[in-house]
Structure 1
């Protein structure tokens, strides 16, 4: 038996085949620990954010279209457009530029998702999370980033008519992003009432002094 194996091993083609199988095994083993949707070069993402990204994208892999949401962080504030963006399909990119305490978060999408991610949509999503995204605290920043991710996931789910799950936005969150002026209107009215009351009060005080 040993002689037979030794004879087989001496054949060049057999050596090449076994070597390729070994390399393939190593690649598959390493791939199990790779997170293709996460590239955290700026070391900004916490465990909860990473888990959200992976779990939602894993669900997408089970669909026919297999869309994806990639989150990338880089150590610069400009030139954030992903490479080969125009060559991709069914993918949304959330790119975070970081330099010191400054952050620049941008949303990009492949051409087939431009209808879901219009300029207004992207602006409204980022505006809704702006306060958290500006925070120098890692936990607060990640809270805002998770809102951005969930908003992007909701848009993709709407685009492909997927059933909503726990990773999507609530109805209230969707309304706050889709209609930012509607949310701001009550605050503006309240402020106007306060200003008018203050003007009235100051007018009464001035009149009493004149009397």
Structure 2
């Protein structure tokens, strides 16, 4: 990968593997065939703060996935040009990253790249939905989209909390009913 350059991949921290780079190039090549020509740029930098891309306001139809890396710490952020803010609200960007937080924090290069590919594909799916492009093999499946909108990690604690609340209410009403009958 050292001899290879692409304007959509800026891997200054040498974190991306070949499969991730191929995915980025393939999807962006497909976008070049559309009238809007959106782009998803993946950039790695050697810092974990101040990740906002330079001249972000000058871009159109562009999503930046910026990976900051320094001393075993990683920070992944998604930035968009103003015209894509409707599809990429702060909640959506946060949900995409949270869905893969374990992998994105991993020091294992393979796991990290799996998480980054998921983030990239989630961004591509959001762009495809916003511009009403047909979904392709690079987009997320319905199950993967559900991971973003309904994270499984929250399902169990919410269910347990509901059981505790309903159990508490049942006991309260049962005790209250018994005390009135006496």
Same fold at TM > 0.5: yes
Mark the runs of 5 or more structure 2 residues left unpaired by the alignment. 168-182
| Cα offset, 1:99, TM superposition | 0.2
Question: 2:67, 2:153 → 1: CA distance?
Answer: 27
In the alignment, structure 1 residue 83 sits paired with structure 2 residue 68 = no
RMSD of aligned residue pairs (Cα, Å)? 1.9
Give SS of 2:155's match. helix
- Contact 1:176–1:183 (Cα < 8 Å) also in 2: no
- Name the structure 1 match of 2:150: 179
- Name the structure 2 match of 1:206: none
In the alignment, structure 1 residue 97 sits paired with structure 2 residue 72 = no
In the alignment, structure 1 residue 120 sits paired with structure 2 residue 79 = no
Question: 1:157, 1:79 → 2: CA distance?
Answer: 28
| Cα offset, 1:175, TM superposition | 1.4
- Contact 1:128–1:176 (Cα < 8 Å) also in 2: yes
Structure with greater proportional helix content: 1
Question: 1:170, 1:61 → 2: CA distance?
Answer: 23
Give SS of 1:39's match. strand
Give SS of 1:73's match. strand
In the alignment, structure 1 residue 43 sits paired with structure 2 residue 14 = yes
- In structure 2, the CA distance between the partners of 1:139 and 1:84, relative to structure 1 (3 Å rule), is same
Q: Which has the higher contact order (CA 8 A, sep 6+)?
A: 2
- Contact 1:68–1:92 (Cα < 8 Å) also in 2: yes
Mark the runs of 5 or more structure 1 residues left unpaired by the alignment. 1-32, 197-211
Question: 1:35, 1:145 → 2: CA distance?
Answer: 17
Which string of whole-angstrom CA distances, capped at 9 and with x for unpartnered residues, describes residues 172-193 of structure 1? 111120233x762245436987
Out of 81, 102, 106, the position equivalent to 1:135 is 106
Aligned residues: 162
TM-score by length of 1: 0.72
TM-score by length of 2: 0.84
